[in-house]
């Protein structure tokens, strides 16, 4: 039950964080930006920062506890507001975890990091507090997409749990999905928002961030098109002419991370 309380608290905090960022939609109705994002254009919002080890760890914890393809179906049927969360989560816990799904989204914790000369392994990078807010790496395209699905569901839960009536719910979008960005979307965000200076692999500081941040020399970022990534990573030579460099990949890599966009699907 302690873990369940922590999950409820984390969802509530996600909900509260969304209150910080507001945009006007095309109908001039006030809507709050989806958590973690900044408005890009029309119906597209983009993550301000990369997905971190801490973010992906939250995903793994919920999958180990109750989240699965089966519970995804239950979440699709929740009310838009005033969710009776205690009973709902009791039902999710009765369904239980899906061990096969957990194995699909777990990272290779014993994979060596190619930027070190010692015996550091993936587990020390992923599970250490020191690297909690560094970008998650060695994630496959399929795992990144599953994270996006999970994040969509968690935000829907947060909205349903923390709004009590139709009037409160009207401040938040009802039909949306998180996904990987297209090349065009990523390049537009780069053109519109400020870009950080070059740096070696370093943490992603999420506090006081209010715009799209890209740090050449950190990690390259997955795009919606499978096998394609954009941006310079720690193993690239940093040149101004190559800041929007397109790269290809076939397997999870320690120079590759990702961020999400949130696409609003309602009219």
CA distance 176 to 152: 7
Residue listed under structure tokens 């961030």: 209
Q: Please give the model's pTM, rounded to 2 decimal places.
A: 0.86
Residue 25 neighbours by CB under 8 Å, 6+ apart: 31, 264
Residue listed under structure tokens 């009310």: 79
| Angle, vertex CA 55, rays to CA 53 and CA 60, nearest 5 | 90
In contact, 215 and 180? CB cutoff 8 Å: no
CATH code, 127: 3.90.1580
Q: What is the pLDDT of residue 193?
A: 78
DSSP string computed for 127-139: H-GGGTTSBP-S-
Q: What is the pLDDT of residue 226?
A: 98
pLDDT in tens, the chain (267 residues): 343 444 444 444 444 444 433 443 443 357 899 999 999 999 999 999 899 999 999 999 999 999 999 999 999 999 999 999 899 999 998 888 999 999 999 999 888 888 776 666 777 888 888 888 889 999 999 999 999 999 999 999 999 999 999 999 999 999 999 999 999 999 999 888 766 544 434 445 444 555 677 787 889 999 999 999 999 888 888 777 788 889 999 999 999 999 999 999 986
Which among 132, 126, 67 is positioned nearest to 93, based on CA atoms? 67
Residue 181 is part of which domain span? 2-264
Q: How many domains does the chain have?
A: 1
DSSP string computed for 179-195: EPPPHHHHHHHHHHS--
How many H helices and E strands in the chain? Answer: 9, 10
Which among 227, 42, 62 is positioned nearest to 144, based on CA atoms? 227
Q: Which two tokens stand for residue 144?
A: 């990144």
Q: Which two tokens stand for residue 227?
A: 């096998």
**Phi, psi of 175, deg, nearest 5:** -125, 105
Which among 15, 34, 11 is positioned nearest to 23, based on CA atoms? 34
CA distance 81 to 74: 15
């Amino acid at each position: 039950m302690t873990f369940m309380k922590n999950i409820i608290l984390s969802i509530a905090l996600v909900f509260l964080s969304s209150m910080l960022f507001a945009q006007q939609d095309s109908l001039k109705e006030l809507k709050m930006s989806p958590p973690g994002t900044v408005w890009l254009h029309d119906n597209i919002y983009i993550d301000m920062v990369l997905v971190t080890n801490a973010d992906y760890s939250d995903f793994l914890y919920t999958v180990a506890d109750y989240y699965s393809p089966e519970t995804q179906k239950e979440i699709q049927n929740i009310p838009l507001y005033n969710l009776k969360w205690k009973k709902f989560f009791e039902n999710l816990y009765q369904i239980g975890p899906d061990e096969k799904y957990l194995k699909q989204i777990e990272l290779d914790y014993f994979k060596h990091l190619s930027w070190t000369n010692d015996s550091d392994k993936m587990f020390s990078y992923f599970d250490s507090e020191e690297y909690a807010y560094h970008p998650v790496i060695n994630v496959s395209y399929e795992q990144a997409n599953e994270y996006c699905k999970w994040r969509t569901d968690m935000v829907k839960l947060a909205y349903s749990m923390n709004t009590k009536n139709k009037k409160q719910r009207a401040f938040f979008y009802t039909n949306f999905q998180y996904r990987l960005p297209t090349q065009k979307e990523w390049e537009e965000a780069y053109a519109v928002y400020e870009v950080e200076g070059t740096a070696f692999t370093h943490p992603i500081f999420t506090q006081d961030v209010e715009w799209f941040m890209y740090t050449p020399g950190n990690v390259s970022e997955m795009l919606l098109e499978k096998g394609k990534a954009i941006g310079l990573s720690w193993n690239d030579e940093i040149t101004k002419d190559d800041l929007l460099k397109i790269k290809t990949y076939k397997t999870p890599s320690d120079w590759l991370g990702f961020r999400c966009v949130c696409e609003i699907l309602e009219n």
